[in-house]
Amino acid sequence: MGKSILLINGPNLNLLGTREPHIYGSTTLPEIEASSISHAASLGATLEVFQSNHEGAIIDCIQAGRGRFDGIVINPGGFTHTSVAIRDALLGVGIPFIELHVSNVHAREPWRHHSYFSDKAAAIIVGMGPYGYKVAVEHVALNFKEIKGNVES
Ligand SMILES: O=C1C[C@@](O)(C(=O)O)C[C@@H](O)[C@@H]1O
């Protein structure tokens, strides 16, 4: 059966395309979402998208996804470096997730090197620009059986 994927983008990612283009490129979030949906469909998977600038809204979205998704692809934006609560939500619903960053956070400010997500992520994608979303979708859609069970439930 085709995989069901939830794509979550956190704060300021709605500004992709115009936000610091030398770091994040010129592709917009609607473009990334549309190509992720069609890429998933081409692999027999379905993909729902969600973006919010609000920590609680992201947590609500993750909780509402319990039992509905095989995998979550999440770019937590700035919450990567601050949010115990989003980490807890992901672990709480027991859905394996891929942590994704458009930029190479390890080549940036030292405080971007720490993530509240990485030690629990099934996979981490950094610095691949918008292409990272395609890779993440593909990994959940095609290789998910192997990555399932990597997280606490
Ligand atoms: O908002 C973002 C975007 C980001 O997650 C990325 O996609 O490269 C990296 C984060 O450090 C930053 O706060």
Right CATH for 4-145 from 3.40.50.9100, 3.40.50.1000, 3.20.20.110, 2.60.120.200? 3.40.50.9100
Q: Which of 101, 96, 140, 133 is nearest to 3 (CA)?
A: 140
- The verdict on whether residue 83 carries a ligand-binding annotation is no
Each domain of the chain, given as residue ranges in start order, spans 4-145
Whether 89 lines ligand 1, by a CB cut-off of 6 Å, is no
* 124-153 residue pLDDT tens: 999 999 999 999 999 999 998 755 544 443
N-term to C-term CA, the chain: 22
* 36-81 residue pLDDT tens: 999 999 999 999 999 999 999 999 999 999 999 999 999 999 999 9
* pLDDT for position 146: 52
Distance 48 CA to ligand 1 centre (A): 21
Ligand 1 pocket: which of 80, 86, 99, 135 to mutate (most atoms within 8 A of CB):
80
pTM of the entire structure? 0.94
